[in-house]
A and B are shown apart, each in its own frame.
Chain A
Amino acid sequence: MSISRQSSLPAWTGTESYIADESLQAIVNVGVGLGRPLLVKGEPGTGKTLLAYAVAEGLKLPLITWHIKSTTRAQDGLYLYDTVARLNDSRFGDHDVRDIAQYIKLGPLGEAFARSQAGERVVLLIDEIDKADIEFPNDLLHELDAMRFTIAETGKEIRAEVRPIVIITSNAEKELPDAFLRRCVFHYIEFPDEGQLQRICRVHHPDVDEKLLAAALRKFVQLRTIPDLRKKPTTSELIDWLSSLRLSGIDAAKLEATLPFAGVLLKQENDTQRVNRASSMRR
């Protein structure tokens, strides 16, 4: 694997709507430069998945997404051979079924390799890799390392000429195997502090009333400090909450004493009760 900076690409600095701190910018650029997959973890709502979209947008590259489910297998990412369609065509179709290639459908990983075989650099998002079986990452090791695979049925090799930028997200539902982790650049996105939250909110609500924003942020940060919440409210919920507050035209002063639209922020019944208890104690 060559290590030299892929000079054709400019450094990534975030986008207008995706605010990345310096360390995240540096890490993305190192990952791209080293040609290694970037593994991103972090609390829900810290923008793990959006990072891939932002990298693609910022570097003006096409994005291929692969959303992992509990039933996803590594093979699904490479290609599928639609035997049933071929069988069906052999009976009822007017195709020439001797050409197997027309029944090979590339998966997201396969497509990313194939496009970069043609010299196009792409960003590949492997979203929520921990959703799959615990052996899943191991099954991908070879393909991610070598950036090539062979379609057994046709003998055709798909080989990435320029390494795609691979961004992998994980919610830490399962631990990932060591061998896999060794090959990744790892980053944990911290929950944004109040200043960053303010910037993020301004991006999504550019014309928000200053007082309302300040009051909402104060309330939100306070909520997150309540211990033992089963699901702490996240950035995306904060943005939704702000929309609700603005739509209903609630006065900033009213936010001090009450928590309107609590359901937008708190999704667990226990949490709602806990918050009510905490706020009644404060009074």
Chain B
Amino acid sequence: MHEFDWSSIPNALPFLWDGMKISLEITVTAVIFGIVWGTLLALMRLSSIKPLSWFAAGYVNLFRAIPLVMVLLWFFLIVPHLLESLFGLPRGSDMRLSSAIAGFALFEAAYYSEIIRAGIQSVPKGQMAAASALGMTYGQSMRLVVLPQAFRNMVPLLLTQGIILFQDTSLVYVSALADFFGAAYKVGDRDGRLVELLLFAGAVYFVICFTASRIVRYYQNKLKTA
């Protein structure tokens, strides 16, 4: 049976916290960009201009069909080279964090756009008709009437997707970027205490995600009764 020795964790806490900051940074930026780009994609998909809606459908289906790991590998191994040769950047500039954020944002936008599309479609048609009858343009009625109602209903789903994204940030491991999980793995590997550090990382993720999903559920119930 394994002899547990947790002594390497207290000293490593500052390092782990640095990792956690990277995880959170990636999550928050990717959620924001993902929602913005996802909203645009959803509007394009619902638009009556065919090429726009084809582009959005193609984008969403492509990103939903390939594994996140593949997307991240594209962004770590290929996109930096492409940018270097396109813009003549110095070779080997460290773009791991920014490519991670870009990769996550572009990937998650596909998922967000499906949530947002469903949200927009769940707003009764009469709302759009009423806004038009009041003389609002399409843009105005979307921005002032439809989207605010759609987003109100979507908040729980968007937050849940954010929790999933937070879990998925651990996959930046493939680029050796020291996010929380990467940091825990490094410490465990260095001290020969992989078992303890991995269990600790699992417990931390569980507590964060479980608490967050409970809060989302509480909010969801409040929304339902309101």
Indicate whether A and B interact. Answer: no
Q: Which A residues fall within an 8 A CB radius of B?
A: none
Chain B interface residues (CB < 8 Å from chain A): none
